[in-house]
Structure 1
Amino acid sequence: MTGAPSAGPASALYLGVDAGNSKTAALVSNTSGEVVGAGRSGCGDIYGAPTPEDAVAEVLAAVREALDQAGADVTAVRGAAFRLAGIDWPEDQEYWDAALSRRFPDALRRRSILNDGYAAIRCGSPGGVGISVTGGTAAAIAARGHGGELWDMGWWGQHEMGAVGLANEAFRAVFLAELGLGPRTALTAALLAHYDKPTTEALNHWLTRRQEQASVRERTSCARVVTAVAAGGDPVAVDIVRDQGHRFAQYAGVAARRTGLVGEGRPVSVVLSGSVLMAKDSPVAEALLSQLPAHVPGAVPLSSSLPPVTGALLDALGEGGVALADAAVADATVEKVTRTLPPDEFLAT
């Protein structure tokens, strides 16, 4: 962020961190929500980084950059929210708590550490109650109830979703068709063209060979191809997309039940985010929305154009005493945060 006003070391600041496999982002704001510092680094997932210590180093690098840009010391941070991929079990949370305590023994004492799935909730529901359904490279689903109940999918997800799910289901369909064990599909020609491979055998070899096989990013790059083929009416691709949407809705239903959001008779905010669900005319989002009422009665779908780190920052503000449950306060704070965010390219994956 260029030209951000200095917060000054004595100012009360709030820190939000969103860490995933592709990047870690950190934002620092003052009490009004004005973003005064931003930082970015690499993989902050203790399951995805070469070592857990590497993930910690990346998260701390983003925090340092954001604070340096704010012209402030960590002791000025009144509240911090760490929303980190790989917070899936109690020991993961304990690991991060210990790591932060070692690095900041006299600061960041008011902090929360949760799975990154929670970050998107306040991007659409500033009060912090509701469900987030993120479909990006993979899937993250989390919910917070009116009584503070928390649930996130973590390792409970038994289906591949997001771009990974679309890609792997499409590969399976193409290879089964080649073997005569599945119906012919337009996905075959589409994927061969996308990856510039002459045959399905060449594609299979590239995806599975021992050396120089396709990276995760290369494998998942075909997600938009799969949805485009589905939009063209190919029955196999249509089934893949519909199954994806149904699975997202099913897990959102689990999140609603586990946090007491079902049966209250109140509207339930369901915030959609991630490249797969936010793509223009996304057939996966369409399939999800068609199934959602059956699994989350009273669901109110909301699409978020804000980056998840914004939700982490709003969590820090809300947990630090800013009355985001008050609609007027929430609106003013979100407007201030949105207006002072760093450029889109800074937070792009």
Structure 2
Amino acid sequence: MKYYLGVDAGGSKTYAMIADEQGTVIGAGRGGNGNHQKNRGQAEDSLQQAVSEALKTAGLNKDRLEYSWFGLAGADREADFRILRPIISRLGLPRTEISCDTWNALRSGTEKSYGIVLICGSGVNCAGKNPAGTAYQCGGFGYRFGDFGGGYDLSVEVFRSVLRADEGREGKTVLTERLTGLLGYASVAELREDYLDHYRELPPHIAELLFQAAEEGDRVAAGLLMKQGDELGLAAAATIRQLSMEQDAFDIVLAGSLLTKGDRSGIISSAIEQRVKQAAPNGTLKILTREPVVGSVVLAMESSGQQVNREVLERLSAAELPRTTG
């Protein structure tokens, strides 16, 4: 029997999963932050913890693993890989591959080996692969480098909109009362003065205020969500053109908490679809319902030459992952 390890590591959690060649999951583990750009030492500890826990619950030694795939947030450039290769090497696994976490999210969300993935969580990213296997990443480096959105950027947009509304530069919005309440201020004036006097980071969960406000008909909130969707759609359309996929039929996988959990009314996804359909009429939006770590296991299997059918994918998807760190 052959065994495969898949790992998905982001800024808040790291998952590891071990499965056999039929897709039966026999071990899983969890760690905290796995993004080296956030904290290198912490990321290495999280990867070590998650992998060790998965091996322990599977009852396997490292040398029993046929192949291991690591989908890691922040694995974007060669400079990142120079940091990550030694970290993964120190795990002592036989055969490994490292990729950006966009690729395991894509493979988890589609039964095809190609397609487009859009991630909108704390930040945003877009990547794609065409039927010939050519890959392209569009963005993923933040606002200064052309991106817009995700929890961090949208939190700033909420903050700005509330201040602008208070000054009369923006329409009135229910976000005013909700933001001041969430941050513990009696008024916008009090909030403004405190933030002018003290440098404070805005918590990314402020972005969550947008969804309920938009569902209630708040025009400012709905406008920000539409802008988020349009920007993601522009990234997807650019990727489609770069990969010459305009005439192909493929899935556009929507991943990240703001797309999979937050966008209940579909404002963001509708704006994405409008842009995507202009670029590729046969592209189909699919919200990611599986854990991205499933895609890492699939990529490990395929890298060793194994074909992954729907039954294997369904078995992998049915596994429960640990909810707390050990």
Task: Please indicate, yes or no, whether the TM-score normalized by the shorter chain is above 0.5.
Answer: yes
Higher deviation after alignment, 173-182 or 238-247 = 173-182
Residue 89 of structure 2 corresponds to 101
8 Å Cα contact 1:137/1:162 also seen in 2: yes
Residue 106 of structure 2 corresponds to 121
Instruction: Classify the secondary structure of the residue corresponding to 1:21.
Output: coil
1:187-238 CA distances to partner (integer Å, 9 max, x unpaired)?
Answer: 2123223334211133345667647x45x6xx22232321222222222222
Higher deviation after alignment, 15-24 or 268-277 = 268-277
| Change in CA separation of 1:189 and 1:333 when aligned onto 2, cut-off 3 Å | same
1:97-127 CA distances to partner (integer Å, 9 max, x unpaired)?
Answer: 23323442xx432x22111111211222133
Aligned amino acid, residue 339 of structure 1: A
Residue 155 of structure 1 corresponds to 141
In the alignment, does 2:7 pair up with 1:25? no
| Change in CA separation of 1:144 and 1:61 when aligned onto 2, cut-off 3 Å | same
User: How far apart in 1 are the matches of 2:207 and 2:37?
Assistant: 24
Residue 260 of structure 2 corresponds to 278
Higher deviation after alignment, 137-146 or 59-68 = 137-146
Instruction: Classify the secondary structure of the residue corresponding to 1:221.
Output: helix
8 Å Cα contact 1:250/1:295 also seen in 2: no
User: How far apart in 2 are the matches of 1:232 and 1:165?
Assistant: 22
User: How far apart in 2 are the matches of 1:210 and 1:99?
Assistant: 37
| Change in CA separation of 1:85 and 1:209 when aligned onto 2, cut-off 3 Å | farther
Instruction: Classify the secondary structure of the residue corresponding to 2:94.
Output: coil
| Change in CA separation of 1:207 and 1:116 when aligned onto 2, cut-off 3 Å | farther
In the alignment, does 2:320 pair up with 1:338? no
Residue 5 of structure 1 corresponds to none
Residue 12 of structure 1 corresponds to 2
8 Å Cα contact 2:291/2:317 also seen in 1: no
1:127-151 CA distances to partner (integer Å, 9 max, x unpaired)?
Answer: 3211111222222322122222222
8 Å Cα contact 1:128/1:315 also seen in 2: no
Task: Please give the root-mean-square deviation of Cα atoms over the aligned residues, in Å.
Answer: 2.3
Higher deviation after alignment, 78-87 or 52-61 = 52-61
In the alignment, does 2:123 pair up with 1:138? yes
User: How far apart in 2 are the matches of 1:346 and 1:257?
Assistant: 42
Residue 191 of structure 1 corresponds to 179
Instruction: Classify the secondary structure of the residue corresponding to 2:222.
Output: helix
User: How far apart in 2 are the matches of 1:266 and 1:160?
Assistant: 27
| Change in CA separation of 1:182 and 1:341 when aligned onto 2, cut-off 3 Å | same
User: Following TM superposition, by how much is the alpha carbon of 1:289 offset from its aligned partner in structure 2, in angstroms?
Assistant: 2.3
User: How far apart in 1 are the matches of 2:30 and 2:214?
Assistant: 36
**Matching of residues 1-349 of structure 1 within 5 Å:** 11-49=1-39, 52-104=40-92, 107-109=93-95, 111-152=96-137, 153-155=139-141, 158-204=146-192, 210=198, 213=200, 219-260=203-244, 262-263=245-246, 265-279=247-261, 280-324=264-308, 329=309, 331-342=310-321, 345=323
8 Å Cα contact 2:36/2:43 also seen in 1: yes
Aligned amino acid, residue 179 of structure 1: E
User: How far apart in 1 are the matches of 2:195 and 2:13?
Assistant: 24
User: Following TM superposition, by how much is the alpha carbon of 1:271 offset from its aligned partner in structure 2, in angstroms?
Assistant: 0.8
User: How far apart in 1 are the matches of 2:18 and 2:56?
Assistant: 10
TM-score between both structures, scaled by the size of structure 2: 0.89
Q: How many pairs are equivalent?
A: 320
| Change in CA separation of 1:323 and 1:69 when aligned onto 2, cut-off 3 Å | same
TM-score between both structures, scaled by the size of structure 1: 0.84
